[in-house]
Amino acid sequence: MKPGRNDPCPCGSGEKYKLCCFLQENPVTQSGDFIMEKRIPKARYKTTAIESPQAMVNRQKSQKETQRSIQREKEQEALANSPEVQAHLSEMMKNHYREWIKMKIPVLGGKTPLQAVKTSDGREMVEALIVDIELKSKQIGSPLDPAIIMELRKNLGLLRSEILA
């Protein structure tokens, strides 16, 4: 007859069987399964992932940051679509391209667009730059105001009728 867990251990140590030879015969990893199967033979249980408190805090923070970034994106989009902001951006772009014709451009050999349009090769390069500016502004989803391009061409003497002549 096998001793019960709370009976004295048959080895004579004086300890309870569950604290002595039972653990040697049934390692801890097996004893839990053995006890579960014996007490509740048809039970099925799910294992859970063990997660440190710091990992839980980090996960919670990242979820909050994601929610905040979504909210921030919505606010920025609403701000960018406001008429006041659009008007201010348009004015900034006009000022930029008014100054651009006076800036030295590396692709023009360090000349300003005003200097470069004095030669036929320079006119061609400046025209290519303006077309590139138009195309890239359309690609990013906010095309330049056609009035800005028209003013730029006019100031450089590159109006379409002048180019064809």
pLDDT single digits (tens) 15-73: 887 777 776 676 554 445 555 555 665 655 555 667 778 887 887 878 777 888 888 88
| Model confidence at 161: pLDDT above 70 | no
| Other Cβ atoms closer than 10 A to 17 | 20
- Reported as half-sphere exposure (CB side, CA atoms, 13 A), residue 36 has a value of 11
Percent of the chain whose predicted confidence (pLDDT) is above 90: 28
Rounded mean pLDDT, 129-148: 84
Q: How many CB atoms lie within 10 A of CB 113?
A: 24
Residues in Cβ contact with 98 at an 8 Å cutoff, skipping those fewer than 6 apart: 151, 155
Asked if residue 32 lies in contact with residue 39, where contact means CB atoms within 8 angstroms, the answer is no
pLDDT of residue 115: 95
The most confident of 26-35, 40-49, 113-122, 156-165, by mean pLDDT:
113-122
pTM here is 0.51
pLDDT confidence bin for 164, thresholds 50/70/90: very low
